[in-house]
Amino acid sequence: MTAIIESVPNFSCGRDPAVLAKILAPLEAQRGVKVLDYSSDYDHNRSVVTVMGEPEALLEALFQSIKVASELIDLREHQGEHPRMGACDVVPFIPLRNADLADCTKLAEELGERVGCELEIPVYLYESSARQAERKNLAKIRKGQFEGFAEKIQQAEWAPDFGPAKVHPSAGCTAIGARMPLIAFNINLNSSDLAIADAIAKKVRHIGGGLRFVKGMGVELKERGIVQVSMNLVNYEKSAIYQAFEMVKMEAKRYGVEVIGSELIGLAPMQALIDSAIYYLQIENFSADQIIEHRLLEGADDE
Amino acid sequence: MTAIIESVPNFSCGRDPAVLAKILAPLEAQRGVKVLDYSSDYDHNRSVVTVMGEPEALLEALFQSIKVASELIDLREHQGEHPRMGACDVVPFIPLRNADLADCTKLAEELGERVGCELEIPVYLYESSARQAERKNLAKIRKGQFEGFAEKIQQAEWAPDFGPAKVHPSAGCTAIGARMPLIAFNINLNSSDLAIADAIAKKVRHIGGGLRFVKGMGVELKERGIVQVSMNLVNYEKSAIYQAFEMVKMEAKRYGVEVIGSELIGLAPMQALIDSAIYYLQIENFSADQIIEHRLLEGADDE
């Protein structure tokens, strides 16, 4: 089966649809690549694009797209609420099918090499592709933002992984790396007390002693008069949806509060939901090949 | 998206692999069709083939395959434990993707017409495609088997839907119809008492007052020293896996018995498992488009 990789490039451009259209064009034109979604935020002045495709085709289209962004976006004139350091700020590669994080890191390195050499934009490898522990976390790399990087990039420990040790005058720097698909999963409580949702989130998330690959916080849903535990599951294979769900239920009990529902935001891999079905239904020796759709995907490549 | 249909033709031939190979050949040669699985049973003297494909391609390949079977199998010389009335005994059409039971009935009628006219084999439409209530149930149609049909087919109420009102001398009759995917789901109990598994099955299955689309019975797993409730879910959209699972747990309680696991046998549609994940995780407003693999399947047709 052909490998399929997802990417979610973030561009520092959220107010001019004509510019975004030009940035999207190479992704939309490339055979073997499909733009699934894009959205722009005016306040953040940022656009997030979701795209998937075969590895080499995706790499080529992303390179062209980053090139267009570097020509059309000038960070010296950019203002927005979202932290940013580059015209194309960050490019994650996410394994979807017949690929793993190592394959995605190879792609990240190839793209980093081209962006660094051909466009002269400094590139930092982040997340799974980071070559130094302090570069795993994107927020740490981006700290100081575009304006602070002229000085930061001079420090030996912040020399880029690819490209010149000199910020591109208008396009800044770019972070590229492999990561697992991220699942946004929110659990609603029959309470309007934000402090309760916050306290539950703190017990469930990694930083508070909870599940290794769960981030979370309390959020108020004012229209519905309830609160929710809003989570990001950053590795559903290791910290599963059902684990997060059961841990929230467990913590809610001590406040006499109940879970009244949940929401899955955006896309999730089939396996993440299947894993929960298998847990609750106690299915023994299940194989993904038993799912008819897997056979359809295999079949699709045969013709 | 292209429609994809599954079919599971049953052939009255389980002892001669060379004959089966010739019957399979048209299915394997047809572009747009994929043989997923086949298995032969010596005692039953029967082979079950699982195949899927685009509607018209599947129809053509199945017709050719039935034609070969009608030439190579002679029911006058056929003995086996499984009830049968035709060389190709039964052909179900099952909607997998972008198709429903009505689409499958159209296919069943087209194939029935060709088998009846061109091969002169009487055809009965069954299950969802039945035109009379008493033809919904395959066992009722097949009653009397090949040997009894010379007489049965003369009765006005058993005139075939297609083809001559005269049994094909060597190839008998064939049932063709649309049905939902069938899910074989077994639930293991921490008991060795078959009477308990049987009693639970009787409360859960339709015939005993239980779920509308569940068939079931108790089975002994002698090697493991336990019993199981063995079920067929014949319409997972209406009687869901989690409903069957929870009802078995509920009934087991009265015997002080516990569910220790379950098994999914063979193939199941992704949605059947996703439905259970959504139930247990209490996910609100879930759409199948949120599953990445659905987007991959869409993408596969784009190129």
* pLDDT per residue as tens digits for the range B98-140: 899 999 999 999 999 999 999 999 999 999 999 999 999 999 9
- With CA atoms as reference, report the closest residue to B260 among B214, B219, B227: B227
Q: A247, exposed or middle or buried, with CB in 10 Å at 0-12, 13-18, 19+?
A: buried
B28-83 pLDDT, tens per residue? 999 999 998 898 989 989 999 999 999 999 999 999 999 999 999 999 999 998 89
Q: How crowded is residue A135: how many other Cβ atoms within 10 Å of its Cβ?
A: 20
Coil/strand/helix, residue A155? coil
Whether the pLDDT of residue A297 is over 80: the answer is no
Whether the pLDDT of residue A303 is over 70: the answer is no
Nearest-neighbour CA in chain A from B157: distance (Å): 38
- With CA atoms as reference, report the closest residue to A37 among A9, A58, A69, A61: A9
**Which of the pair, B121 or B96, is modelled with greater confidence?**
B121
Query: Catalytic residue positions of B?
Result: 82
- Mind spelling out the 3-state secondary structure of chain B? CCCEEEECCEECCCCCHHHHHHHHHHHHHCCCEEEEEEEEECCCCEEEEEEEECHHHHHHHHHHHHHHHHHHCCHHHCCCCCCCCECEEEEEEEEEECCCHHHHHHHHHHHHHHHHHHHCCCEEEEECCCCCHHHCCHHHHHCCHHHHHHHHCCCHHHCCCECCCCCECCCECEEEEECCCCEEEEEEECCCCHHHHHHHHHHHCHHHCCCCCEEEEEEEECCCCEEEEEEEECCCCCCCHHHHHHHHHHHHHCCCCCEEEEEEECCECHHHHHHHHHHHHCECCCCHHHEHHHHHHHHHHHC
Model confidence pTM above 0.80: no
Can you read off the two tokens belonging to residue A103? 């394959």
B276-301 pLDDT, tens per residue? 999 999 999 999 888 887 777 665 44
Among A34, A270, A290, select the one facing B268 at the smallest CB separation: A290
Nearest-neighbour CA in chain A from B52: distance (Å): 9
Cα gap A215→A195, rounded to integer Å = 17
> Phi and psi for A243 in degrees, rounded to 5?
-65, -45
Q: Which residue out of A30, A274, A283, A284 would a mutagenesis test of the B interface target, given it has the greatest number of B Cβ atoms within 10 Å?
A: A283
Coil/strand/helix, residue A122? coil
Residue A302: predicted pLDDT = 38
Q: Decide if the complex's ipTM is over 0.85.
A: no
Residue B97: predicted pLDDT = 85
Give me chain A's average pLDDT, please. Answer: 94
Q: Which residue out of B94, B98, B233, B281 would a mutagenesis test of the A interface target, given it has the greatest number of A Cβ atoms within 10 Å?
A: B281
- Inter-chain contact A277–B52, Cβ cutoff 8 Å? no
Among B273, B276, B281, select the one facing A245 at the smallest CB separation: B281
